[in-house]
Amino acid sequence: MVPYLIIFIISILVCAAGEWALRRNRAGGLLLCCVSAAFPVFLAGAREYTVGTDIATYGNYVFKAACNARSLFACVRAQREIDPLYKALAYIVARFTNNPHWFYFVTALIICGFTMAGLWYYKHWCSITLGWACFLFLFYGDTLNTMRQCLALAVVFAAFPFFLEKKYIRFAVFSLAAILFHVTGIIALVLPVVYLLMKKTPPRWLQFFLIIACMGLILFYSPLLRIVLQMNLLPAKFYRYIARGIALALNPTILRLPFLIPVIMYYDRFCGFREIPGETAAAAGAFGGILSHGGAESYGDAEQAGEEGFDRNALGMFVVLMLLLEICTVQLRSVQAALYRISYYFGYYRFIAYSRLVRILRRDNRVIVAAALLCYLAVLWYYQNVIQGNNQIYPYVYSPGWFQLDIPVMPE
């Protein structure tokens, strides 16, 4: 537990310094934010093979196969059950080293780098520091286990801003990359539809209708799936996805309520329909650039609020809907863990929502709520990873020779 907490605290503090530095020097702030993302990357690369379930499941053998592959094409064609871009990444790393630790280092570099890039885009709308803290405590443990899906997750998260900026070709390229990392990355194509729906149809009842429809479909999908199977419209293998009774995962739902309820309570303020109390153009105090909006002046550049390329009201409604969809899809955990991971794509927006929540409160409440959020994250991480043993990442075991390059001999 101690190695995780030390790295998390250092990374968060460096990120906070970077966000504070943005008020005076954009390049310096960006550099510090990048450095903050490097700390968990080294932690991932230096871990022993016993840390993270999927290292033994597919990580090591995919990399060993890549080391022995005669060509990229041969590597991608082998092991059809593994997604092609993940095998291609393993092959590229294997051209430089036979040490699997460097493969996990590069994997973590992509995940953490793309996650930070996504948070950076929303820097005027939410706190990068608190968003990064949410990533470390809520999802970093999953990145040490479900590596393929987390690669897709991070790419999808960083790709969506391209859609908001109407850079559709870039969005399409990154979405394709996410799908090639893990097939569930196809959810990237759903996000623009949901956002446009929020933008073109403002009434809130539409959100609640979508939530009720989604929840109803998830809770009662088993009887519907059974009918479809009895009509021979799907292969018999889908019988394994039928749950007994109603699919309901109470524990994950309760764990998400403490900060979901305030977001719903302050919905108008969260989405920008109401003015944030006590907000001024210039940030106040040492926490100004982190817990307050601060306006363009606080970041030391010419960017103004609203120039990020997105409709703030629509984005707020979109993020809230993502939180509610996560609550819906997390119910799939009672059926099968693999289905439950679909909720990850919606849960990633908890980073934005929780860090946004602190900024929309009255100024004298922000530090208190930020401290409460960090305590909540720490307790949740301990419960899920230490007590429940999620992802098999506790205890952390360091591998002394992880940094050895071990130059490969190319197969003839």
335 Cα distance to chain centroid:
22
Whether residue 281 lies inside any domain: the answer is: no
Whether residue 412 lies inside any domain: the answer is: no
Which pair of structure tokens corresponds to residue 296? Answer: 């363009």
Least confident of 113-122, 279-288, 309-318: 279-288
SS3 at position 351: helix
Q: What is the pLDDT of residue 91?
A: 94
d(CA 74, CA 79): 10
SS3 at position 91: helix
Least confident of 11-20, 212-221, 386-395: 212-221
User: Which DSSP letter does residue 277 get?
Assistant: T
**pLDDT at residue 339 tops 80:** no
The arithmetic mean of pLDDT across residues 89-105, rounded, is 93
Could you tell me the pTM of the whole model? 0.86
Share of the chain above pLDDT 70, in %: 78
Average confidence score pLDDT of the chain: 82
Which pair of structure tokens corresponds to residue 341? Answer: 């991971």
Which pair of structure tokens corresponds to residue 347? Answer: 């849960």
The arithmetic mean of pLDDT across residues 15-21, rounded, is 93
Handedness of CA 159, 162, 164, 166 (dihedral sign): negative
Q: What is the pLDDT of residue 201?
A: 67
Domain assignment of residue 97, given as a range: 2-276+308-392
Q: Which residue has the higher pLDDT, 261 or 299?
A: 261
Least confident of 104-108, 340-344, 390-394: 340-344
Q: How many Cα atoms sit within 13 Å of 316 on the Cβ side?
A: 22
Whether residue 406 lies inside any domain: the answer is: no
Residue 47 φ then ψ, to 5°:
-80, 155
Measuring CA to CA, which residue among 120, 141, 142 is closest to residue 131? 120
Q: What is the pLDDT of residue 248?
A: 60
Q: What is the pLDDT of residue 137?
A: 96
**pLDDT at residue 21 tops 80:** yes
Q: What is the pLDDT of residue 149?
A: 92
Torsion of CA 170, 198, 332, 392, to 10 degrees: 50
Q: Any idea what the Cα angle at residue 369 is, between residues 365 and 370, rounded to 5°? A: 115
Q: Which residue has the higher pLDDT, 8 or 58?
A: 8
Q: What is the pLDDT of residue 286?
A: 44
pLDDT tens-digit series, residues 263-307 = 888 888 888 777 766 554 334 344 445 676 544 334 433 333 444
Q: Which residue has the higher pLDDT, 99 or 311?
A: 99
Handedness of CA 116, 111, 155, 74 (dihedral sign): positive
Whether residue 286 lies inside any domain: the answer is: no
Whether residue 293 lies inside any domain: the answer is: no
Residue 398 φ then ψ, to 5°:
-85, 140
Count CB atoms within 10 A of the CB of residue 336.
Answer: 13
Whether residue 357 lies inside any domain: the answer is: yes
The arithmetic mean of pLDDT across residues 337-354, rounded, is 85
**pLDDT at residue 54 tops 60:** yes
Q: Which residue has the higher pLDDT, 328 or 135?
A: 135
Q: Which residues contact 2 (CB under 8 A, 6 or more apart)?
A: none
Q: Which residues contact 121 (CB under 8 A, 6 or more apart)?
A: 158, 161, 164, 308
Q: What is the pLDDT of residue 329?
A: 80
Q: Any idea what the Cα angle at residue 213 is, between residues 208 and 217, rounded to 5°? A: 145
Least confident of 26-35, 191-200, 318-327: 191-200
The residue type of 212 is: I
The residue type of 393 is: I
Count CB atoms within 10 A of the CB of residue 237.
Answer: 8
Number of domains observed in the structure of the chain: 1
Measuring CA to CA, which residue among 319, 353, 332, 339 is closest to residue 215? 332
Compute the residue count for the chain: 412
d(CA 368, CA 300): 27
Whether residue 272 lies inside any domain: the answer is: yes
Residue 73 φ then ψ, to 5°:
-60, -45
Whether residue 342 lies inside any domain: the answer is: yes
Q: How confident is the model at residue 337 (pLDDT cuts 50, 70, 90)?
A: low
pLDDT tens-digit series, residues 120-161 = 999 988 899 999 999 999 999 999 998 999 999 999 999 999
**pLDDT at residue 411 tops 70:** no
The DSSP result for 290-346, as a single string, is HHS--TTGGGTSS--TTTTSS-HHHHHHHHHHHHHHHHHHGGGGGT-HHHHGGGHHH
pLDDT tens-digit series, residues 207-254 = 666 667 766 666 666 677 678 777 876 666 566 666 655 556 667 778
